[in-house]
Amino acid sequence: MQKRQLGNSDLQITPVGYGAWAIGGSGWQFAWGSQSDNDSIAAIHRALELGVNWIDTAAVYGLGHSEEVVARALKEWSGPRPYVFTKCGLRWDAKGEVSKVLRSDSIRREVEDSLRRLKLDVIDLYQIHWPPDPDSPELEEGWSTMADLKGEGKCVGSACQISMPSKSAAQKPSRRLRRCSRRTR
């Protein structure tokens, strides 16, 4: 399968990856319903056999369960390790209710929790999930923390999923967002 450079990173990824949202299973706010962990692991292995070289998950998928299933699949996989992408910024409480949090202390807890669940030393791409408004001070704090994590070797790259509300907003990204993106390159 062909590979392409991901942005300005050194990552060479296949045009198709494995999305692990559904394998988080049921029992949480954005669940897809019950999933068999064994079937999920078999699906990941099949995708890797077909040449896919990256898996995208998130801490919030299944309230951590998706990352645990990905870790099991990687442990049982005998081929080259695929890139693992995961996300921060969505936290859950004891009731499983999800909220957006981009404070530095939260992101630092999240990265450590994700590394533990994934059984990895480093995350290949760490993303901000459902970010706040691009001019938000919380986004600035989140980006700064992500840049620090990259410098500390916790992640290879970092990214932010941005939804622009209008064409004019897309043409003029905020000054803060431009500054943050330059810092993470």
44-93 per-position pLDDT tens digit: 999 999 999 999 999 999 999 999 999 999 999 999 999 999 999 889 99
User: Pseudo-torsion of CA 146, 185, 83, 164, nearest 10°?
Assistant: 70
Supply the pLDDT for residue 134.
Answer: 74
CB distance 11 to 22 below 8 Å: no
pLDDT of residue 56: 96
| pLDDT above 90: residue 116 | yes
Catalytic residues: 61
185 has a pLDDT exceeding 60? no
pLDDT of 7 = 85
Q: What is the pLDDT of residue 171?
A: 39
* Mean predicted lDDT score pLDDT of the chain: 84
The span from the CA of 13 to the CA of 54, in Å, is 7
Contact 71, 59 (CB under 8 A): no
Residues 128-164 have pLDDT tens digits of 888 777 777 888 888 889 889 988 888 887 765 544 4
CB burial of residue 140 (10 Å; 0-12, 13-18, 19+): middle
Residue 102's pLDDT band (cuts 50, 70, 90): confident
> DSSP H helical segments within 18-160, as ranges?
37-49, 65-76, 104-118, 137-151
Q: CB count, 10 Å around CB of 160?
A: 21
Whether the Cβ atoms of residue 185 and residue 10 lie closer than 8 Å to each other: no
Q: Which amino acid is at 180?
A: C
Report the C-alpha gap between 103 and 129 in whole angstroms.
Answer: 13
What percentage of the chain reaches a pLDDT higher than 70?
85
Query: What are the pLDDT digits (tens) for 24-55?
Result: 988 887 888 899 999 999 999 999 999 999 99
Q: Does pTM top 0.85 for this prediction?
A: no
For position 160, what pLDDT does the model report? 59
